[in-house]
């Protein structure tokens, strides 16, 4: 009961201006700068910190995607994870890969690797779903501590301080459990060059979803992707009467 | 001289991890990658072990690459005769070549006779960033260790003064210079020879010129700034393979510069267009960015762009000095390759083929030395003058020599027209064989006239359809930097900007920076202004370091991975 599983997702870098494909089937990703999802970086940092405190023996980084996903796993290894698992999903399958399929994959791996803790980012910055952690816990029938801003291991339980709308909520859950990382959980360390070089020697196992008995057929079909409509300039009016007239004109009242 | 650290750290472990390679290459552009590839090709042919490590400050290979570009495939064919089978992204052969002199409303076509340096028969329009990415893939396949996202920040020296290698920058330093929790020292990479391929006006090259006196027998380098956009245009206006160049409007005859507009052929109706202005311009009120934006409104250009969408923006300085400005390129422990020393053929506006060739020549000179049993070098870091000798015997030298007088011929009363006349007579007829070599005008930074001697330029407001404002353009470059780090645009003297640049030249850095890094803003209390440096916007073009009339701005490399996120620029 000494292993942590961390999920890392390769997403379009947050500073890049995203462009919709000419056929409106999705966004342009070819050649676009990608990086590790910021919340996944925080998840990796937390997992590595727990290992450094000697609370766990091994941290395994997992990513689902095409060949380039191994670069993201390599960064996680450079931050201190011990080994990686690349679940290969390519082409159209990758375009339709969503939280339900990914959580099935993580659930299967958590069982296979006998993980005591699964740490994920709270959401990915490309789809903003905020679902994978919760679904993974449900599929495993494990407790979940989401939006974690503090994580403390107390014996075979985890104390999680959660960021919620009303403030902070502290819960204690039994392990094995799923935790999702929120912004203030920690500040991720840099993947420095000597660590990237060492990470090249760490193992990344390669497998397909079918090897885990997971069917990744999507139940969702994306019909169309469009840019948000250009924001039109507002109109200033001089008097309240003008305002009422304009609202009547536009059919609002 | 230039401090290795921009800060000092108390009570922090300062030892650095060090690793050894045979050759270290700084810069993953055409020159650096060609050198790496050639080294590994030779090593594999002769079944010798060779560790080649390449560091690149961009987060991925190609992300800081920006060029027109029209590629002459000569060097590529030498490097990879089977480049087509390997899938090199040369998808757009040039089919049409147009040259115009623009006036405010009209266009005078100039015939592109074969033999003129601008003639492009046999060349390809490429997205250089994608070409560089492909070179990176070839290099990795051959066994080169490529480390994108890591910036070489410091040159290391042996006791005998020869170059020992480089060190990457320390990370995790806050804006005020103090170490954050995530502070970590950079790493040292040692090599028998270190190649510096930083591109135009490299920051490490700047230090090496001083240290090894490499520029004592050549003229100072002269530069231009190139701004570029990518547009998806109306399919009806798309002419794949067409090259358009113009000179004239909106520049006056004494400001060197012109435009390019290339129609790519890669599936969608994409055009690469841009504007280049010589950095020897004299009017401090000139804004290269706004000249570029207003040029797009010329009827001949506007008709291509109308109904289209701008999808990318970027800028970079480029060399114009050519033959007269070539420094010594070898020194104990290292060499300079590519646009860093500067092999661009200015009238052809091509530098990629010569950059690649210089990298290949460097590799061929290095290989026998680093794999020899007895290296026979007087210094610990290898000094390999054969590279420079071979450069002088190569087609690079002949090419640069033949066009050496074209750019400087521009410095006459008739400016542009004098230059074109000179080109027509001496290049087209005599192929540069005239026995004299014209001089450049001197340092670009010394060319600005005081603001009071010049007229401010009335630029039109951007219309949001063809022309745009600066900040929305910068956003399209995808540039970003970790916010909490010391600004990498350093000032040698903090008082100079207001006392000199603003007082005498009306703060030209507000106008020549294509990314809005420099702003003169009122002081919070009292009278007066201060210079605000928005380092996060920087697109690493190096124009400020070149054009600052006080030479007070010193561009140093920020934390690796920062900077633009160009995709196929």
Query: The CATH number of the domain where B67 resides is what?
Result: 3.50.50.60
What pLDDT does residue B113 have?
Answer: 75
Residue A4, phi-psi category: left (phi > 0), alpha (psi -120 to 50), beta (remainder): beta
Nearest CA to B559 out of B534, B531, B536 is that of B536
In the annotation, is B352 catalytic? yes
Summarize pLDDT for A25-34 with one digit per residue, the tens.
999 999 899 9
Name the β-bridge partners of B55: B26, B147
In a domain, B209, yes or no: yes
Average pLDDT of the segment spanning B226-249:
95
What pLDDT does residue B313 have?
Answer: 97
Total domains in the fold of chain B: 1
Candidates A27, A36, A70, A193: best to mutate against B (most CBs of B within 10 A) is A193
Q: How confident is the model at residue B114 (pLDDT cuts 50, 70, 90)?
A: confident
Average pLDDT of the segment spanning B531-559:
96
Domain ranges of chain A: 3-249
Nearest to A192 among B55, B171, B311 (CB): B171
What pLDDT does residue B10 have?
Answer: 60
- pLDDT at A95 exceeding the cut of 50: yes
Residue of B53, B200, B339, B541 with catalytic role? B541
Residues of A in contact with B480 (CB under 8 A): 13-15
| Interface touch A13/B478, C-beta < 8 Å | yes
Average pLDDT, rounded, for chain B:
92
Residues of A in contact with B59 (CB under 8 A): 13, 33, 35
The CATH number of the domain covering residues in A3-249:
3.40.50.620
Candidates B52, B66, B187: best to mutate against A (most CBs of A within 10 A) is B187
- pLDDT at B127 exceeding the cut of 70: yes
Q: Give residue B178's domain range.
A: 18-71+131-220+324-403
What pLDDT does residue B11 have?
Answer: 58
In a domain, B200, yes or no: yes
Of A30-44, B186-200, B413-427, B535-549, the one with minimum mean pLDDT is B413-427
Nearest CA to A34 out of A56, A67, A80 is that of A67
In a domain, B176, yes or no: yes
- pLDDT at B131 exceeding the cut of 70: yes
Average pLDDT of the segment spanning B513-541:
94
- pLDDT at B380 exceeding the cut of 60: yes
| Percent of chain B surpassing pLDDT 90 | 82
Average pLDDT of the segment spanning A146-163:
97
Written as six digits, the tokens of B357 are 């060739």
Written as six digits, the tokens of A79 are 């931050």
| Interface touch A187/B181, C-beta < 8 Å | yes
**What is the C-alpha separation between B267 and B69, in angstroms, rounded?**
18
Written as six digits, the tokens of B104 are 């405010």
- pLDDT at B352 exceeding the cut of 50: yes
Nearest to B147 among A35, A190, A196 (CB): A196
Q: For residue A7, give every residue at least 6 positions away whose Cβ sits within 8 Å of its Cβ, in sequence order, or none.
A: A40, A43, A61, A62, A63, A102, A106, A118, A119, A120, A121, A132
Q: How confident is the model at residue A1 (pLDDT cuts 50, 70, 90)?
A: low
What pLDDT does residue B14 have?
Answer: 76
Average pLDDT of the segment spanning B20-31:
97
Residue of B316, B404, B407, B511 with catalytic role? B316
In a domain, B60, yes or no: yes
CA distance B183 to chain A (A): 8
Predicted ipTM > 0.85: yes
Query: Which residues from B are below 8 Å from A when comparing CB atoms?
Result: 17, 19, 55, 59-60, 62-63, 129-130, 133, 147, 150, 168, 171-172, 180-182, 184, 186-187, 232, 268, 311, 475-476, 478-480, 565, 567-568
**What is the C-alpha separation between B483 and B419, in angstroms, rounded?**
45
Summarize pLDDT for B74-91 with one digit per residue, the tens.
999 999 999 999 999 999
Nearest to B478 among A33, A192, A194 (CB): A33
- pLDDT at B141 exceeding the cut of 90: yes
Average pLDDT, rounded, for chain A:
95
Average pLDDT of the segment spanning B444-449:
94
Residue of B34, B59, B352, B445 with catalytic role? B352
- pLDDT at B536 exceeding the cut of 80: yes
In a domain, B512, yes or no: no
In B426-507 the beta strands, taken as DSSP E runs, fall at 489-491
What pLDDT does residue B373 have?
Answer: 75
In the annotation, is B541 catalytic? yes
What pLDDT does residue B383 have?
Answer: 94
B531 or B347: which leads in pLDDT: B531
B488 or A251: which leads in pLDDT: B488
Average pLDDT of the segment spanning A152-170:
96
| Interface touch A31/B130, C-beta < 8 Å | yes
Nearest to A189 among B55, B182, B479 (CB): B182
What pLDDT does residue B6 have?
Answer: 47
In a domain, B371, yes or no: yes
- pLDDT at A234 exceeding the cut of 90: no
What pLDDT does residue A58 have?
Answer: 97
What pLDDT does residue B2 have?
Answer: 35
In the annotation, is B316 catalytic? yes
- pLDDT at B167 exceeding the cut of 90: yes
In a domain, B334, yes or no: yes
| Interface touch B567/A33, C-beta < 8 Å | yes
- pLDDT at B13 exceeding the cut of 70: no
**What is the C-alpha separation between A147 and A168, in angstroms, rounded?**
10
- pLDDT at B503 exceeding the cut of 90: yes
Nearest CA to B538 out of B511, B503, B564 is that of B564
- Per-residue 3-state assignment (H helix, E strand, C coil) for chain A: CCEEEEECCEEECCCCCCCECCCCCCECCCCCCEEECHHHHHHHHHHHHHHHCCCCCEEEEEEEECCCHHHHHHHHHHHCCCEEEEEECCHHHHHCCCHHHHHHHHHHHHHHCCCCEEEEECCCCCCCCCCHHHHHHHHHCCCEEEEEEEEEEECCEEEEEEEECCEEEEEEEECCEEEEECHHHCCCCCCCHHHHHHHCCCCEEEECHHHHCCCCCCCCCCCCCCCCCCCCCCCCCCCHHHHHHHHHHCCCC
- pLDDT at A75 exceeding the cut of 50: yes
- pLDDT at B486 exceeding the cut of 70: yes
Interface contact A22, partner B, CB < 8 A: yes
Interface contact A16, partner B, CB < 8 A: yes
**Residues 191 through 210 of chain A touching chain B, CB cutoff 8 Å:** 192-194, 196-197
In the annotation, is B5 catalytic? no
What pLDDT does residue B9 have?
Answer: 57
């Amino acid at each position: 009961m000494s292993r942590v599983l961390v999920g890392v997702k390769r997403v379009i870098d947050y500073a890049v201006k995203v462009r919709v494909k000419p056929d409106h089937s999705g966004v342009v990703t070819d050649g676009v700068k990608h990086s590790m999802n910021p919340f996944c970086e925080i998840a990796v940092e937390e997992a590595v910190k727990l290992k450094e405190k000697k609370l766990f023996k091994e941290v395994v980084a997992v990513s689902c995607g095409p060949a380039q996903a191994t670069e993201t796993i390599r960064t996680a290894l450079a931050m201190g994870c011990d080994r990686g698992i690349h679940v290969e999903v390519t082409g159209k399958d990758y375009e339709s890969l969503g939280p339900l399929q990914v959580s099935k994959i993580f659930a299967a791996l958590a069982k296979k690797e006998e993980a005591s803790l699964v740490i994920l980012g709270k959401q990915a910055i490309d789809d903003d779903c905020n679902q994978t952690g919760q679904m993974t816990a449900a599929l495993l029938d494990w407790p979940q501590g989401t939006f974690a801003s503090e994580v403390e291991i107390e014996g075979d339980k985890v104390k999680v301080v959660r960021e919620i709308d009303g403030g902070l909520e502290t819960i204690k859950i039994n392990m094995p459990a799923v935790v999702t990382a929120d912004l203030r959980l920690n500040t991720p360390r840099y993947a420095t060059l000597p660590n990237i070089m060492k990470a090249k020697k760490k193992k990344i196992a390669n497998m397909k979803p079918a090897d885990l008995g997971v069917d990744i057929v999507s139940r969702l079909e994306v019909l169309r992707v469009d840019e948000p409509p250009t924001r039109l300039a507002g109109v200033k009016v001089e008097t309240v009467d003008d305002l009422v007239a304009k609202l009547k004109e536009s059919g609002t009242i | 001289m230039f401090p290795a650290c921009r800060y000092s750290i108390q009570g922090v472990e300062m030892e650095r991890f060090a690793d050894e390679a045979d050759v270290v290459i700084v810069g993953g552009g055409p020159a650096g990658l060609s050198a790496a590839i050639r080294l590994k090709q030779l090593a594999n042919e002769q079944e010798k072990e060779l560790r080649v490590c390449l560091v690149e400050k961009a987060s991925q290979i190609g992300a800081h690459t920006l060029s027109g570009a029209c590629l002459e495939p000569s060097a590529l064919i030498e490097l990879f005769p089977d480049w087509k089978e390997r899938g090199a992204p040369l998808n757009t052969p040039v089919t049409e070549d147009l040259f115009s002199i623009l006036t405010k409303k009209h266009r005078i076509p100039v015939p592109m006779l074969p033999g003129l340096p601008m003639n492009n028969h046999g060349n390809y329009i490429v997205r250089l960033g994608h070409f560089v990415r492909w070179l990176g893939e070839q290099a990795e396949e051959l066994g080169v260790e490529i480390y994108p996202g890591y910036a070489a920040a410091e040159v290391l020296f042996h006791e005998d003064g020869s170059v020992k290698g480089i060190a990457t920058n320390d990370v995790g330093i806050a804006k005020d210079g103090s170490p954050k929790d995530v502070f970590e020292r950079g790493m040292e990479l040692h090599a028998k020879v270190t190649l510096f391929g930083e591109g135009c006006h490299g920051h490490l090259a700047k230090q090496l010129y001083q240290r090894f006196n490499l520029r004592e027998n050549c003229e100072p380098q002269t530069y231009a700034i190139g701004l570029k956009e990518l547009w998806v245009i109306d399919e009806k206006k798309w002419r794949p393979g067409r090259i358009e160049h113009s000179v004239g409007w909106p520049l006056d005859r004494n400001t060197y510069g012109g435009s390019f507009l290339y129609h790519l052929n890669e599936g969608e109706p994409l055009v690469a267009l841009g504007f280049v202005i010589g950095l020897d311009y004299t009017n401090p009120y000139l804004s290269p960015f706004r000249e570029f934006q207003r040029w797009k409104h010329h009827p001949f250009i506007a008709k291509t762009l109308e109904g289209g969408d701008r999808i990318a923006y970027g800028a970079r300085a480029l060399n114009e000095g050519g033959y007269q400005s070539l420094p010594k390129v070898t020194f104990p422990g290292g060499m300079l390759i590519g646009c860093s020393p500067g092999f661009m053929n200015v009238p052809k506006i091509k530098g990629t083929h010569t950059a690649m060739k210089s990298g290949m020549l460097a590799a061929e000179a290095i290989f026998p030395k680093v794999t020899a049993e007895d290296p026979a070098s007087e210094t610990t870091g290898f000094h390999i003058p054969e590279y420079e000798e071979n450069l002088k015997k190569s087609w690079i030298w002949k090419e640069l020599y033949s066009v050496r007088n074209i750019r400087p011929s521009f410095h006459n009363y008739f400016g542009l027209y004098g230059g074109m006349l000179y080109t027509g007579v001496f290049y087209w007829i005599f192929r540069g064989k005239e026995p004299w070599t014209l001089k450049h005008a001197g340092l670009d930074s010394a060319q600005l006239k005081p603001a009071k001697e010049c007229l401010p330029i009335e630029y039109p407001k951007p219309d949001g359809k063809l022309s745009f404002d600066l900040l929305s353009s910068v956003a399209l470059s995808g540039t970003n930097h970790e916010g909490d780090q010391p600004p990498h645009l350093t000032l040698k003297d903090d008082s100079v900007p207001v006392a000199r640049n603003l007082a005498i030249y009306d703060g030209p850095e507000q106008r020549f920076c294509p990314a809005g890094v420099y702003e003169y803003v009122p002081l919070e209390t009292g009278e007066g202004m201060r210079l605000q440096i928005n380092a996060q916007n920087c697109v690493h073009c190096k124009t400020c370091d070149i054009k600052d009339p006080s030479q007070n701005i010193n561009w140093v490399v920020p934390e690796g991975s920062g900077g633009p996120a160009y995709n196929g620029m």
